[in-house]
Chain A
Amino acid sequence: MKTKIVLLSVLIGLTTVGSDCINQGFEVAINLDQINGTYVINPGPNPSYSGSVTVDPTTLYDQNYNLTGASIYGIDVSTAGANLGNCSGTVRVNGILLLTYNGAWTAFNTPQSILTSPLITRNQAGITELINAVLQGRMITLSSSGTVTTTPVPSGCSVTVSAYVQAYGTP
């Protein structure tokens, strides 16, 4: 019996050490799957293009988390296909201007980052809308329209916009 009392005392002591060991309400930084929109430029004489992609943000992260915040940490614009001269266009999120881009097609063959590229101009209202849509679980429609300067457009040309969003949440 005495042994059991000693064992129990040690156990209680050890358990006390651990009882406060979890930070209650800790938040985890969640890197969502990137939100991609690829806009194909139709082959032919038309230099204009447009399109939209709709994404459910709740499919981009582990639903075991309750989101408490979100931020955007990058947006890239890139081109693929033959050189089409210059390209310029706009990107909207749920109809709100997110950014504009303008530059040599070949420059965009290497993805241009909103963080560092002078070829992209961001619009804060669109940034805010994208964050709010993720936080509120609203559908995100990413649309783009623009023009190129070289025609006819061969097949296989496209513009891709990729948005990188981080959320924070409690498990």
Chain B
Amino acid sequence: MKRLQQIIRFGSPMYLAATFLLAIGSARSQSDLERTLMQYSANDVKGYIQPIADLFGANMNAGYYHSAAIPVAGFHLGIDIVGMGALVSDDQKTYAANAPVGFNPATFQTATVFGGKGTVATDASTGFTYRGSDGIINASIFPLAVPQVSIGYFYGTVVTARFITTPSFSNDKFPKTTLWALGARHGISQYLPGAPLDIAAGVFYSSFTVGDIIDFTGLSIGAQASKSFAVLNLYGGVAWEKSTMNLKYTPSNSATPAVNIDLDGDNAFRITVGAGLALGFFNIFADANIGSITNFSGGIGLGF
């Protein structure tokens, strides 16, 4: 409640988004997540954490635009709060984990980070047991929210940036997080007089660091189109994208080698369909993103 009162008092988009990230993204789960990951070797951690690489990667590359109209010249400043949510599918809640060498069966199905209770593998000959960790995150949608600033227009180009950093606190129990992204879109319509749609193309790079052991990077290259009808704006696009989650840590078990692995997000291509309402300086928008990972983004913003 105290936090909510602070939000009301501050009321800025940056603070809102930062608080949101802190509240759901890092406050408890990340510290516990880090400690949980450190129980795993490089081979074993992949199945457990891969869904986060897939879903967070898809979220990072969402919500960069809600219009393809980019004039050649003029001043534009837009400030948005963008929320994203990737759907957690049932097959992302379990994975085939390796049982210890010599166990029969050699693999068993257990919870990922999005799963429920970890399951137990029982060796057929000795009755010895080995179990997987429980899932940590119980959600049907994996969310993210970021503030976003767009500035233009420079020769038909608009630059978009995202940035949030949250300090560590409570004796580092909650790790520092930093998210930033930078990209640019260029209006193509200026070269196509009479085109029925506004068309643009853009590229975005993003980074998200959680504490000392998790780093995400994302890259998206795509083309967008939009059409305005009074206050209604319909938009869409296609994009090639890549996201990578790097895990780097020393496992708690002293006999396990240090881990430094990259996990690629599942999404490589997306189709976006969305709509927005422009009400003076205020706008609201939402879109669906279809690819290997289905996610949604939407938000509100101020712009002129």
Q: Is the CB of B118 within 8 A of A33?
A: no
Enumerate chain B residues within 8 angstroms of A62, measured Cβ to Cβ: 35, 38, 252
Are A14 and B102 CB-contacts (below 8 A) given A23-B138, A115-B128, A122-B126? no
From B23, B36, B102, give the contact of A116 (CB < 8 A): B102
Residue B302 is within 8 A (CB to CB) of chain A in the complex:
yes
The 8 closest A-B pairs by CB, nearest first: A18-B24, A115-B102, A26-B134, A21-B139, A73-B130, A29-B133, A71-B129, A73-B100
- A: residues with CB less than 8 A from B are 3-4, 6-8, 10-11, 14-15, 17-23, 26-34, 61-62, 64-65, 71-74, 113-116, 122, 164, 166, 168, 171
Are A28 and B11 CB-contacts (below 8 A) given A17-B141, A20-B139? no
Q: Is the CB of A23 within 8 A of B253?
A: no
The residue in chain B whose Cβ has the minimal distance to the Cβ of A10 is: B300
From B25, B81, B129, B252, give the contact of A10 (CB < 8 A): B81
Enumerate chain A residues within 8 angstroms of B20, measured Cβ to Cβ: 11, 14-15, 18
Are A10 and B83 CB-contacts (below 8 A) given A29-B132, A34-B255, A71-B129? yes
Enumerate chain A residues within 8 angstroms of B28, measured Cβ to Cβ: 22
A10 to B283, CA, bound (A): 13
Enumerate chain B residues within 8 angstroms of A74, measured Cβ to Cβ: 100-102, 128
Q: Is the CB of B35 within 8 A of A64?
A: yes
A17 to B38, CA, bound (A): 28
A73 to B99, CA, bound (A): 9
Q: Is the CB of A18 within 8 A of B83?
A: no
28 intermolecular pairs with C-beta atoms under 8 Å apart: A7-B11, A7-B13, A8-B11, A10-B299, A11-B19, A14-B20, A14-B24, A15-B20, A17-B141, A18-B23, A22-B136, A23-B135, A23-B136, A23-B138, A26-B32, A28-B32, A28-B134, A29-B39, A30-B252, A61-B252, A62-B38, A65-B35, A71-B128, A71-B129, A115-B100, A115-B102, A115-B125, A166-B130
